[in-house]
C-alpha cells in the first residue's frame, strides 16, 4: 500500500512541526511571475486576450463574441441537468439563503452615546461584485450558490460570475442553473488569472467590478494578489484543506472516510487526521484501501498525492491538549470534530474557519448544502479572516448625529484635542465662531 505520511507529533522538533503547517500556497512565486503577462495582456487587449487565453489554457472554443453566456444557454442548461440535481441545488440554496438572511446585519443602528448625541453604523451594498466559480479539477455549482446567495441577500445590484469554459465553449450547466436560481444572470466564460484581470480592468464585454470573491487555483490566488491595488480581492481562498480531529470515542475508519473528502480536490490540497488515539490511527490506515477502491481514478491519484506527501497524512499526538495545540497552530479551513461529545472540545479550538461537530456533520454536507458558507480562508488565514458572508458584499458607514443640546460639551472637548494636535481649522469649527453662524441661520 502507498505509505501514508505519519507524524508522531511529540517526537518532532520545532522545524519539523512548522513544516507540517506549510500549505502549497506558501510559495506562489512561479504563478506570480507567469500571471504578470496574462494580466497585462488582458489590460491592454481586452476581449481579444480573454478569448486567446480561453483557447490556450482551457482548450476552449470561445471567441470574443461568445464570452458572455446568453439567455438561451441558461434555458438550455435547465434541460441538461437532471431533476434530482436541480432539486439538490434548490435544497442547498434554500438553506444557504436562510443562513445568510439570519446573518445579515441590520441596515442601520443608531445608539445614544451621551444624552442628545447619537452614533451608529449603516450598511449599504457594494455596487458591483464579481463571483469566481472554479472549473478545472471539478465543476462547482456549489461555489455558485455559496457566492451568489449572500451577494443577493446583501442586495448587490451588479453581480457577474466568471468561470472557465469547457472545451466546447460552454459553461457548466449546473453552474448556470444554480446562478439563475440564486438570482444571478450574468456569466462570463473566463477563468484563471485572466478572469481576475478582466473584472479588475474591464474589457469590451466584461464590466469592471469593485470586488471579486470566490475560491480558485493558485492562478487565481496569484492574480488576486497582483491586482489587490486595482480591485478588492476579499478573503484569500485557495486550494481546499481540512483537519479531521478524532478523539477515542469514534472508529478510525470513519475518520479515514472523511479525511479523503478534501484530500481529493487536487494534488495541492492539504488534509490531516489528528488524533491522540493510536487505535484510531490503526483503524484509519486499515480502512483507507477500501475507501480508495470506491473512488474514481483521478480522485484516488489526487488524494494519494496529498496523503503520502508533505501536505497531508496522520498526526498522532500524545494528548488531546496537544491535538488542540496543533489544530490552533494549523488554523484549518475546515475542521471536523469526530467525537460522541464534540461540544466538549469546541471551546479549546479557536483557529479554524469552519468547525463541523460530530459524526453526522461531514465536510461534504457543509460544502454543499448545510447553510454556512463553504468559501473559507485557506493557508492559515483563518487566524484573521472568517468565512465568506453577507458582510463581504456590503460596506459600513458610520453615522453620527449631535443635537443642539449635546453640542456644547462635545465642542469643548473637540476644541481641546484639536488645539493639542495643532489643527487650527478643526478648533475654529468648534469655537464660538460656529455659534455666531448658527445664530445667523436661526435669525
Ligand X SMILES: N[C@H](CO)Cc1c[nH]c[nH+]1
Ligand Y SMILES: NC(=O)c1ccc[n+]([C@@H]2O[C@H](COP(=O)([O-])OP(=O)(O)OC[C@H]3O[C@@H](n4cnc5c(N)ncnc54)[C@H](O)[C@@H]3O)[C@@H](O)[C@H]2O)c1
Cell of 229: 491595488
Q: Please identify, among the stretches 100-108, 118-126, 180-188, 371-379, the one whose residues bind ligand Y according to the rule CB under 6 A.
A: 371-379
Residue nearest to ligand X (CB): 240
Q: Please identify, among the stretches 83-91, 135-143, 151-159, 384-392, the one whose residues bind ligand X according to the rule CB under 6 A.
A: 135-143
Tell me the C-alpha distance between 430 and 427, whole Å: 6
Using CB under 6 A, which of 205, 240, 275, 339 touches ligand X? 240
Cell of 213: 470573491
Alpha helices in 294-406 (DSSP H): 297-307, 320-330, 343-346, 363-368
**332: contact with ligand Y by CB under 6 A:** no
Q: 213: which strand partners? A: 131
Q: Please identify, among the stretches 1-9, 112-120, 185-193, 422-430, the one whose residues bind ligand Y according to the rule CB under 6 A.
A: 185-193
CA-to-CA dists, residue 397 to 27, 108, 124, 264, angstroms: 36, 9, 8, 42
Q: 11: which strand partners? A: none
389 touches, from ligand X, ligand Y, Zn ion, none (C-beta below 5 to 8 Å by class) = none
Per-residue mark of binding to Zn ion, 350-369 (x: CB under 5 A) = -----------------x--
Q: Are 105 and 123 in contact (CB under 8 A)?
A: yes
Binders of Zn ion among residues 270 to 299 (CB under 5 A) are: none
Using CB under 6 A, which of 73, 262, 268, 336 touches ligand X? 262
130 touches, from ligand X, ligand Y, Zn ion, none (C-beta below 5 to 8 Å by class) = none
Exposure string of 408-433, with b = 16+ CB inside 10 Å and e = fewer, is eebbeebbeebeeeeeeeebeebbee
Tell me the C-alpha distance between 153 and 231, whole Å: 22
Q: What's the order of all strands across the beta sheet hosting 241-246? A: 6-8, 312-316, 270-275, 241-246, 334-338, 354-357
Provide the strand spans (E) within 206-252: 211-213, 241-246
Using CB under 6 A, which of 374, 382, 411, 418 touches ligand X? 374
One DSSP character per residue, 397-440 reads: EEEEEE-TTTHHHHHHHHHHHHHHHT-HHHHHTTSHHHHHHHHH
Selected catalytic residue, list 7, 100, 276, 334 = 334
Give the interface size with Zn ion as a residue count (CB under 5 A). Answer: 1
Identity of the residue, 217 or 323, whose beta carbon is nearer to ligand Y in the bound complex:
217
Q: DSSP secondary-structure letter at 139?
A: B
Q: Is 137 exposed, middle or buried (0-12, 13-18, 19+ CB in 10 A)?
A: middle
Give the interface size with ligand X as a residue count (CB under 6 A). Answer: 9
Identity of the residue, 256 or 375, whose beta carbon is nearer to ligand X in the bound complex:
375
333 in active site: yes
Q: How far is the CB of 267 from ligand X (least distance, A)?
A: 15
Selected catalytic residue, list 73, 262, 333, 336 = 333
**92: contact with ligand Y by CB under 6 A:** no
Cell of 301: 491519484
Using CB under 6 A, which of 9, 23, 25, 58 touches ligand Y? 58
Using CB under 6 A, which of 367, 373, 379, 389 touches ligand X? 367
Residue nearest to Zn ion (CB): 367
Binders of Zn ion among residues 396 to 415 (CB under 5 A) are: none
Q: How far is the CB of 279 from ligand Y (least distance, A)?
A: 31
Identity of the residue, 217 or 367, whose beta carbon is nearer to Zn ion in the bound complex:
367
**144: contact with ligand X by CB under 6 A:** no
Residue nearest to ligand Y (CB): 192
Q: Is 113 exposed, middle or buried (0-12, 13-18, 19+ CB in 10 A)?
A: middle
Tell me the C-alpha distance between 275 and 46, whole Å: 51
**184: contact with ligand Y by CB under 6 A:** no
Rounded (5°) CA angle 105-175-394: 20
Q: How far is the CB of 413 from ligand X (least distance, A)?
A: 49
339 touches, from Zn ion, ligand Y, ligand X, none (C-beta below 5 to 8 Å by class) = none
Identity of the residue, 46 or 191, whose beta carbon is nearer to ligand X in the bound complex:
191
Identity of the residue, 46 or 266, whose beta carbon is nearer to ligand Y in the bound complex:
266
Contacts of 425 (CB under 8 A, 6+ apart): none
Q: Is 43 exposed, middle or buried (0-12, 13-18, 19+ CB in 10 A)?
A: middle
**140: contact with ligand X by CB under 6 A:** yes
Q: Are 365 and 349 in contact (CB under 8 A)?
A: no
Residues that bind Zn ion (CB under 5 A): 367
Please list the active-site residues.
333-334
Residues that bind ligand Y (CB under 6 A): 57-58, 134-138, 140, 143, 164, 191-193, 215-217, 219-220, 237, 239-240, 265-266, 268-269, 333, 374-376, 378
Residues that bind ligand X (CB under 6 A): 140, 142-143, 240, 262, 333, 367, 374, 376
Amino acid at each position: 500500500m502507498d505509505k501514508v505520511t505519519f507524524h508522531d507529533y511529540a517526537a518532532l522538533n520545532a522545524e519539523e512541526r512548522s513544516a507540517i503547517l506549510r500549505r502549497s500556497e506558501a510559495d506562489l512565486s512561479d504563478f506570480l511571475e507567469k500571471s504578470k503577462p496574462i494580466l497585462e495582456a488582458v489590460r491592454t487587449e481586452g476581449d481579444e486576450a480573454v478569448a486567446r487565453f480561453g483557447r490556450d489554457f482551457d482548450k476552449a472554443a470561445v471567441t470574443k463574441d461568445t464570452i458572455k453566456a446568453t439567455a438561451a444557454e441558461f434555458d438550455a442548461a435547465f434541460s441538461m441537468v437532471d431533476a434530482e440535481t436541480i432539486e439538490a441545488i434548490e435544497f442547498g440554496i434554500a438553506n444557504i439563503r436562510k443562513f445568510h438572511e439570519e446573518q445579515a446585519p441590520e441596515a442601520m443602528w443608531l445608539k445614544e452615546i451621551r444624552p442628545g448625541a447619537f452614533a451608529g453604523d449603516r450598511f449599504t451594498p457594494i455596487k458591483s461584485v464579481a463571483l469566481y466559480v472554479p472549473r478545472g479539477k471539478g465543476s462547482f455549482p456549489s461555489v455558485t450558490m455559496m457566492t451568489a446567495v449572500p451577494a443577493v441577500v446583501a442586495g448587490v445590484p451588479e453581480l457577474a460570475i466568471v468561470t472557465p469554459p469547457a472545451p466546447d465553449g460552454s459553461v457548466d450547466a449546473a453552474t448556470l442553473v444554480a446562478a439563475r436560481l440564486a438570482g444571478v444572470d450574468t456569466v462570463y466564460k473566463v477563468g484563471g488569472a485572466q478572469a481576475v484581470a478582466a473584472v479588475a480592468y474591464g474589457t469590451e464585454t466584461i464590466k469592471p467590478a469593485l470586488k471579486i470573491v470566490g475560491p480558485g487555483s493558485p492562478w487565481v490566488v496569484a492574480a488576486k494578489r497582483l491586482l489587490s491595488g486595482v480591485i478588492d480581492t476579499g478573503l484569500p481562498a485557495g486550494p481546499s484543506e481540512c483537519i479531521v480531529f478524532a478523539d477515542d470515542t469514534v472508529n478510525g475508519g470513519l475518520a479515514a472516510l472523511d479525511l479523503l473528502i478534501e484530500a481529493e480536490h487536487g494534488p495541492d490540497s492539504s488534509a490531516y487526521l489528528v488524533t491522540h488515539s493510536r487505535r484510531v490511527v490503526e483503524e484509519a490506515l486499515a480502512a483507507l484501501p477500501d475507501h480508495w477502491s470506491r473512488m474514481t481514478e483521478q480522485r484516488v491519484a489526487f488524494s494519494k498525492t496529498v496523503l503520502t506527501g508533505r501536505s497531508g497524512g496522520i498526526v498522532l499526538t500524545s494528548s488531546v491538549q496537544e491535538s488542540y495545540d496543533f489544530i490552533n497552530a494549523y488554523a484549518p479551513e475546515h475542521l471536523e470534530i469526530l467525537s460522541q461529545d464534540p461540544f466538549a472540545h469546541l471551546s479549546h479550538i479557536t483557529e479554524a474557519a469552519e468547525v463541523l461537530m460530530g459524526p453526522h456533520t461531514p465536510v461534504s454536507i457543509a460544502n454543499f448544502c448545510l447553510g454556512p458558507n463553504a468559501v473559507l480562508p485557506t493557508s492559515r488565514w483563518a487566524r484573521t479572516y472568517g468565512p465568506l458572508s453577507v458582510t463581504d458584499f456590503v460596506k459600513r458607514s458610520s453615522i453620527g448625529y449631535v443635537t443642539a443640546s449635546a453640542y456644547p460639551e462635545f465642542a469643548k472637548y473637540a476644541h481641546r484635542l484639536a488645539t493639542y494636535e495643532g489643527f487650527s481649522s478643526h478648533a475654529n469649527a468648534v469655537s464660538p465662531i460656529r455659534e455666531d453662524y448658527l445664530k445667523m441661520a436661526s435669525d
